[in-house]
Structure 1
């Protein structure tokens, strides 16, 4: 007799709602299995037939770290397109390739960690390439589009599950795991939270990743905003994945908790659901969670809540419905009425002609024409072009790129479009021989597979090279030297390259080899610095920090002191490796001279300058200046002196401060992925009219920049929203080969918002895109408001003479600001300007509307007191954590002196006494308006710790009326010492 078939467990039933299925599966997991699920690498549960699961697959502008994939422009380049629909298609292509790659390699994850929505507040941020814009609305629009593409269009199942990075107010690599961003409430709500909120509310986001930094003195991995803000924006279960190593940082570098058990428990309670720590070894985190539970720091219910969120994502990805998952090659999602989603896990949905064309389209749309005095476009049939510069024949990848399948450099694009016979190339680097103190020269042995040993097919980067190769012979010193290309990336950082294109690199064994295709890796092993010493130079390897030595078995890096004097390490001693070598550089060709010769022979010179995404500005390293590296400035001047018809093309991850005065044309593009060169050549030739727009302000110099760690965009007048100076190029700037006329703007205010309409006409001779930008401005605000603020935008394609009607419906929330007096959004009554044009400063049409709004109400300080962090103005203070779990307090910077200002405080029938809630030690002095000090309060002795608060009281002594303070006043609080102020109260 055949045994009966066991019933299908409810969690396997595709007809049940996900919530019931999650509950059923959760009830079947043992406590140990549930705890195990909280690490990034969740083990399989074989008894239930459940596979292992991994959170995290990098997919910022293509599938990263998993081998060959379509590489799209960097995120900042996608932001420069100002085209959400294009970015949605890019996200869709990336998610299709993710599914296709997973079908062949189970290591490829479907929980993708992308996009990065941190705002590009400061252009020296090393990870500038990862964000979309300095503007929260543009960032939100682009991020929402990308996540929609990643998610897919099926109403039930998701193609991939995107996680937004990095929550919250993260815009510095300097001390990134210990620095605290002081973010006042207005900046928090109007700026930083806004970038995340739109994508979450659109329903296309599976979760977020907290950032390494602290906000208001509290690490983001225990941020109360996860609960108080993020989880209130949607009814979906959101998965919060920690950043790599961040749970351990809570104890090891931040010293925020005494034990790791306290740290993981606090993180879980705050909302972290998946711990990315200790790589694939889950035992450490699991052990900490197990012990935290044993000690009563956690409850099983809190563990279940986190596991439920992770399971919710896995169900949405179709993991438990292989027969009905539309993206896994299955059916229609289990519902005959639901159409089957396009683009299941077809292994051929990878490197398709459509994806190649999309990569080129995105690269073309990302090109920004910054200046053009009529030199562009060029005529390919009649122009001899000299293309010069360090990036002229490069297609650079960044840390979050996939491996190139196809490769197009500016030189290759110009060869293709203009013809090789009309294009001359000069890189413009110095060629040098490196001479030892013994009179020998550094020699690069030929590689067995040279030339091009480091490249795979189609220029693909071999991932193994990121760790350094040891299978090649190391450099030696001998009578025959190898001429090396010395590339100066600025700040004294150099790379050295062999004639066949291989970069000198240092592997784990410490030997120098010409083994790398490009600089790269988490720790770059291809960068060096020359340090003057003893009439020559030491050559210091930056990856290890060690000097280069010449030993009998080859050239290597090793610890050692520099020679005491010139000639102290020469001859036999040097060969034996007695100490660091003192080298002499013999320049065989100066790069600027080669550039000048090529420029003089050409009709037009294209200077391609910019950065290598792994050097002088990247994850873990902020830039130190906006200036173009000195060697590249030298090449630019040499080209311009030899040929006035010089085009500067900046290919970079971030803005530069360059002087465009004597340059007839300047363009910028982010590193544009696999089709970058083709796209650039087509723009230069006029096949495509450029229509990229700057997604962030380009400042004229370092003096215009705020402090890197100053996050108060309002108080220190940051970004185009508040910057009152003259930028080099403004936010939203970008020129075209066509011209556009804007018709009269009409604005009509209604109960729900404002309708704005106008026309745009292509008055030029070529078809082109125009990026229409609409800004708002409060005419007479009662508090500092943006000088102009992006409200809406649209990218239009218009034929010559074509007119488009443009209309925007702006909800009243567009005009609101966060009113700290009432701790919520408020639309202020009054007049507002609507500004339409081609950039934040190129306004073509304007109109004014009057909104009724909501009148301001003075702070009722007798009833509600004052929260210290809800100030109207401040100087010399920073916001810190009131407790480890929640709340804010204010302290003077570095324990010195600061001031808080609270405007329109209504004392009603009268106040006789003031109380302050403080910790630490110091003094709080209170005055009204510009009057004298009315009260001073100090703890008799410092409190035991920063979270041990005491309440102090004192009478208000007023010269006019010593008994009572009445009416509406401005309250000023002066803080001195190592003191934290949480609240101020008043009583009659």
Structure 2
């Protein structure tokens, strides 16, 4: 430093602790500069040498949306590995590639929005692929491993800064920005909060993202739980980033606030620090914050709190210490050393292999080396990506994997698509002009499609008509949704100009432009394009889609209607099941690869409606099985299915496994790898086993393996092996606040294989409904034939506590607890019982404290709603029903003579003691002026001692609290 060089400001001094440096930088920023930081795209502050910064980079199972990257199995597949070490290494690889990609493209962010820790409560959730498990313990274990990998191992500087999604109780896409999850206190604490809490407390999380939905009537973006729970779990400055567009939803779709200034102020004060809204245009958010400041809805201290948390993350990422950052990637050699490496490719294959779950095997697997294999099905030659995937650098389909493993001469292929021509009213057929450079997928050729063939292109010729037409591959993906594909592999798609072209390598995009519906019309069909809603018509300049308003009303018979949709005759030239049956009959074993396309019927914005396979795929499966009983079903899907497993000798499942999916599946089928994936969620046998999609009460409606009392198709934790394992020598004891369990696992088979040993607990004499069994710990072991492993777990006794609604806190109940050791939640090999000291149940002190309405033990016909816009819960009847609430063990002491209820709205409250006299009925004289205008109603009520209390609610009132006097 020379005499003319000013000293560096304290925020540039790496010797100072981060909090002091953050404070120094914050003090140098003007209010306008700080306000600008509140948008996702924070501008540079050139006068201080502070660079621009944006929150948000998708990295769910690889760096997404930023071009070529290593693509690992979907998150639910990583959950199926039950292997924290593996998942940590995947996180490390993803973060290294993010750093390398950032070095060559500044659009790549280091604040990564991953992982998703929403619990897979309901298997019809469209985003099932994004979560790890229905169990909070397994979810938190896998999420913690992934975040540790994303963070990196340096004690000071983070490689990337992971943000957990989506806070809170978010498990439906249907009406996701307006629906409310009614979450009772026990479910909130024992289930939904738990996955977030244990991951945050592990110390590798930079923040969370609130979900679009509401919880208990209040949008998650103004959730009081952000302060009450999230930020109480750690001393770190956690960054809360809004979901895209959600700040505007507070007014526009949810109508929760009257103005955007009020909504923005409420979200900021609740704890949201970065607003993801209006894309890269920050002007609207900045204007709303300024308006809120001018109206006194916010103070500069509120802005400072949010900016401080943002800056804390930026300092941890090494932004202000380029010379100290151990994760910096600065040269081309560094990029090459961190990106798409042989190690990452091997890790992608390892992860894909470990994610395969063998659900059933009657001895047909593994396949002998000389087996003639027919691989058939709509996914047999596919390597599907999802909305959060990167671009494939390498790919492997099941067909390619089996070719590689068994030789092309021993493997036959039939995709099973229906081959059709579409005849127009004048007798001509739809025709696709040929294109050079794309492989013939119908023939099963290897190699990826030309990446230049992307939906949205307008330089390719549109479809026309001619006398012979083009034979198209038609696939019905269920719900009447279909794709059409040219012989060279190009999918029919619609660009912005409305013309239909064969221009997409795969269905995809936020709004999929490659799906259609055939709608019966007279003796033919109309073809509706789902992306635009318009019908396909034939015009002089090519085949195009009519505008939706014209398409909806135009009559195909009206000769004057220029936008009249075409009536097509569907001419089937080959049924898919015929091709499958031919291939199956000539093979020793048939492998039917079935499942979903992650962009169709079950994805972000769209829930599934059934557990069943699409009818087209069920037809293919039946055809294969009829032609060859040695039929193996390999399900490749983002979620569970209900299939007829009894009729099949073998069934496997894997999530979409990324770039190595086909190789991994082939190696498992051949026995090169013994499968050891385990189901991370219950597979139900029938739709009738499922609760309502919006019923979040896992306790009351007996959801997930924790409470489900039916017989599942396959249970949580299930997965078979090519080896067998013996469990023995169980020892269990409880002392000094710890439950210690040890046992041995021996490989009694003749191949090296992995086993996943699982420890569950069940309260044997609970005073409230408790899980049938609950996962406490697990370990994935690799054992050679004859080898034995000693397994031990030390679990804090507090892990066996439950949320006591009578006293609003955790309580460990004294008594016996069964410890269950085995290979799944239903495959218990060893058990022991320990007796724990705990806190006995105590009656509710209602004479002193009254009753919070939400602290019920049981309910029917009610839902929980917001007490006020900022905090608290109330209970209201479901529209059109009478609500029932039960509060057990209410202690009225020496006696009470009166009751007071705090209510808003109109209706009536009936209060009765167990076995007592007629209920006391209270009803407002007049409806309150708004949902939050609470008043008190009083009546006489005589009670002493301990009683159960029942409350019946009618009308549209909200019950907040019940008090007693006398």
Does the pair score TM above 0.5? yes
The 1-side partners of 2:298 and 2:886 are apart by 41
Instruction: Tell me whether 1:824 sits opposite 2:809 in the alignment.
Output: yes
Instruction: Tell me whether 1:469 sits opposite 2:457 in the alignment.
Output: yes
Deviation at 1:563, TM superposition (A): 8.8
The within-5 A match list for 1:589-600 is 589-600=574-585
The 1-side partners of 2:184 and 2:757 are apart by 32
- Extract structure 1 runs of 4+ deviating beyond 6 A: 452-455, 562-565
The within-5 A match list for 1:362-761 is 362-380=351-369, 382-447=370-435, 449-451=437-439, 459=448, 462=451, 465-466=454-455, 468-559=456-547, 560-561=550-551, 568=557, 573=559, 577-761=562-746
| Contact 1:94 1:150 (8 Å CA) reproduced | yes
In the other structure, the counterpart of 2:779 is 794
* Residues 601-644 of structure 1, C-alpha deviations (whole Å, 9 max, x = no match): 00000000000000000000000000000110000000000001
In the other structure, the counterpart of 1:961 is none
In the other structure, the counterpart of 2:10 is 10
The 2-side partners of 1:23 and 1:531 are apart by 64
In the other structure, the counterpart of 2:325 is 325
Distance change in 2, residues 1:2/1:876 (3 Å) = closer
Deviation at 1:101, TM superposition (A): 0.4
Deviation at 1:578, TM superposition (A): 4.6
The within-5 A match list for 1:40-189 is 40-189=40-189
The 2-side partners of 1:599 and 1:527 are apart by 29
Deviation at 1:561, TM superposition (A): 4.8
Structure 2 stretches lacking a partner, 5+ long: none
The 2-side partners of 1:982 and 1:414 are apart by 63
SS in 2 for 1:465: coil
Structure 1 stretch 888-897 or stretch 972-981: which is displaced more? Answer: 888-897
The 1-side partners of 2:104 and 2:166 are apart by 30
In the other structure, the counterpart of 1:217 is 217
Deviation at 1:688, TM superposition (A): 0.2
In the other structure, the counterpart of 1:336 is none
| Contact 1:447 1:453 (8 Å CA) reproduced | no
The 2-side partners of 1:927 and 1:517 are apart by 66
The 1-side partners of 2:30 and 2:207 are apart by 25
Distance change in 2, residues 1:970/1:637 (3 Å) = same
Deviation at 1:154, TM superposition (A): 0.2
SS in 2 for 1:971: strand
* Residues 366-394 of structure 1, C-alpha deviations (whole Å, 9 max, x = no match): 000000000000012x1100000000000
| Contact 1:324 1:330 (8 Å CA) reproduced | no
* Residues 915-946 of structure 1, C-alpha deviations (whole Å, 9 max, x = no match): 00000011000001143433111110010000
| Contact 1:452 1:502 (8 Å CA) reproduced | no
In the other structure, the counterpart of 1:334 is none
* Residues 184-206 of structure 1, C-alpha deviations (whole Å, 9 max, x = no match): 00000000000101110011000
Distance change in 2, residues 1:618/1:109 (3 Å) = same
SS in 2 for 1:115: coil
Deviation at 1:17, TM superposition (A): 0.4
Distance change in 2, residues 1:330/1:23 (3 Å) = farther
| Contact 1:925 1:933 (8 Å CA) reproduced | no
The 2-side partners of 1:463 and 1:626 are apart by 35
Deviation at 1:447, TM superposition (A): 2.5
Distance change in 2, residues 1:390/1:131 (3 Å) = same
The 1-side partners of 2:388 and 2:514 are apart by 18
Deviation at 1:579, TM superposition (A): 0.3
Deviation at 1:452, TM superposition (A): 7.4
Instruction: Tell me whether 1:987 sits opposite 2:957 in the alignment.
Output: no
Q: 1:355 aligns with which of 344, 348, 351?
A: 344
The 2-side partners of 1:305 and 1:344 are apart by 40
Q: 1:975 aligns with which of 948, 953, 963?
A: 953
Deviation at 1:577, TM superposition (A): 4.1
Distance change in 2, residues 1:562/1:247 (3 Å) = closer
Deviation at 1:746, TM superposition (A): 1.2
In the other structure, the counterpart of 1:959 is none
Structure 1 stretch 445-454 or stretch 258-267: which is displaced more? Answer: 445-454
The 2-side partners of 1:103 and 1:348 are apart by 12
The 2-side partners of 1:363 and 1:733 are apart by 18
Deviation at 1:965, TM superposition (A): 1.0
The 2-side partners of 1:846 and 1:448 are apart by 65
SS in 2 for 1:747: strand
The 1-side partners of 2:339 and 2:809 are apart by 47
* Residues 212-236 of structure 1, C-alpha deviations (whole Å, 9 max, x = no match): 0000000000000000000000000
Deviation at 1:464, TM superposition (A): 8.2
Deviation at 1:752, TM superposition (A): 1.5
SS in 1 for 2:114: strand
SS in 2 for 1:933: coil
SS in 1 for 2:879: helix
SS in 2 for 1:708: coil
| Contact 1:405 1:460 (8 Å CA) reproduced | no
The 2-side partners of 1:168 and 1:582 are apart by 47
Deviation at 1:479, TM superposition (A): 1.2
The 1-side partners of 2:874 and 2:488 are apart by 60
| Contact 1:691 1:771 (8 Å CA) reproduced | yes
* Residues 311-343 of structure 1, C-alpha deviations (whole Å, 9 max, x = no match): 000000000000000001599xxxxxxxxxxx9
Structure 1 stretch 928-937 or stretch 100-109: which is displaced more? Answer: 928-937
The 1-side partners of 2:914 and 2:189 are apart by 28
Deviation at 1:513, TM superposition (A): 0.2
In the other structure, the counterpart of 2:829 is 844
SS in 2 for 1:745: strand
Deviation at 1:814, TM superposition (A): 1.6
Distance change in 2, residues 1:888/1:578 (3 Å) = closer
In the other structure, the counterpart of 1:951 is 936
Distance change in 2, residues 1:696/1:463 (3 Å) = farther
In the other structure, the counterpart of 1:335 is none
| Contact 2:437 2:450 (8 Å CA) reproduced | no
Structure 1 stretch 631-640 or stretch 889-898: which is displaced more? Answer: 889-898
Deviation at 1:74, TM superposition (A): 0.1
The 1-side partners of 2:697 and 2:598 are apart by 28
Distance change in 2, residues 1:344/1:235 (3 Å) = farther
Q: TM-score, normalised on structure 2?
A: 0.98
In the other structure, the counterpart of 2:258 is 258
Structure 1 stretches lacking a partner, 5+ long: 332-342, 957-963
In the other structure, the counterpart of 2:271 is 271
Instruction: Tell me whether 1:196 sits opposite 2:196 in the alignment.
Output: yes
